[in-house]
Structure 1
């Protein structure tokens, strides 16, 4: 399977998890922690695959456009990973958790 197909499927999976998280019935249940853990795990795995396979292949080309896109994507991934670390330490009933999840 092509790496682009794998990455696209992962994007869809993470989007689906966020959609599920946003549903009112999910947000009121005790499953919110498990759902957050699923989201965090999927994003971390996805980031690692992108960095190790996809981005490294793009940066090995001579394209300056590819290099700048990869740099921006890595910066975005770092910001997301930092936010996930912050969220991991926040109580789920805290209002700041919902605010950060909405980002």
Structure 2
């Protein structure tokens, strides 16, 4: 069964693949979407195993110039293997609405 994803969902997967784990409130502000809508998108992507919750109390960021470790205070999500494979199979690379942090 083909998942029902729109362009925003593809951008969200691309974001998580590029920048690593993040939480719903920050994702909602970056994508200019209300928090409840973002939570429902994340719940749907999690239900089809395209993203997964980050386990443990520490979140490691490898996408920055320097490795950084943060104690997590929110529920963080990261792209899962199935989501990564689905994103690679897409013909068009989604246009990203964010800039990488300057660190």
Normalized against structure 1, the TM-score is what?
0.27
Structure that is richer in helix per residue:
1
RCO greater where, 1 or 2, for CA within 8 Å and sep 6 or more? 2
Higher share in strand: 2
| TM-score, with length taken from structure 2 | 0.27
- Which structure has the bigger radius of gyration? 1
